[in-house]
Chain A
């Protein structure tokens, strides 16, 4: 099983450029998440999708949009990149059932905005 696959692994953008980070999971999980990780800030939730067809804002949604394309895929879009969006981005998924389950993370995307 591939688990959670993120692409690309690295990206450098110029300020104002746009890009989409892709995430796909093959575990039939209901819920998917996008986090960013910055030094000293820990992992912060950008957006999440509790189930196919729904998306909700997390702690730091400004400057981002998401699409839950189907049950497998959850993409994160930066419409106009800013240096403050330089970070490591992680996609994660979980079954989202009544019992809490551990989250499975992708390997991350290191994004630099210059």
Chain B
């Protein structure tokens, strides 16, 4: 059974701090790892990672995948209150075209 574990479960930081969110996984026939940000409603897509060691960046957010050790990290630098959200990690396996989600990391950025 595919499995995704995220840590920490929740995190409170001050504006300007840098945070690292962790995601470890077990999946049959890995295809991709996905990061989402969920504020009040639907998750919104951040990154898709398929290859080890290649960093994806978008502004202050970046993510990298280690397929050998089966984990990914999501970094957020110079955090802002608008970064407060639940960050979801998910893995996609081949053959079933489905995604297994972790329970998420709840990030709260305080002024």
Contact = CB atoms under 8 A, between A and B. Distances in A.
A105 to B, nearest CB: 4
Given A40-B103, A48-B98, A100 B48 contact: yes
Interface stretch (B14-22, B39-47, B69-77): B39-47
Interface in A38-53: 40-45, 48, 50
Interface of A: 31, 33, 35, 40-45, 48, 50, 56, 58, 90, 94, 96, 99-108
Interface residues of B, number: 23
A73 B102 CA distance: 27
Interface of B: 4, 31-32, 34, 41-45, 48, 50, 88, 90, 92, 96-104
Contact of A104 (B45, B48, B88, B101): B45
B42 A58 contact: no
Contacts of A90: 42-43
A45 B43 CA distance: 14
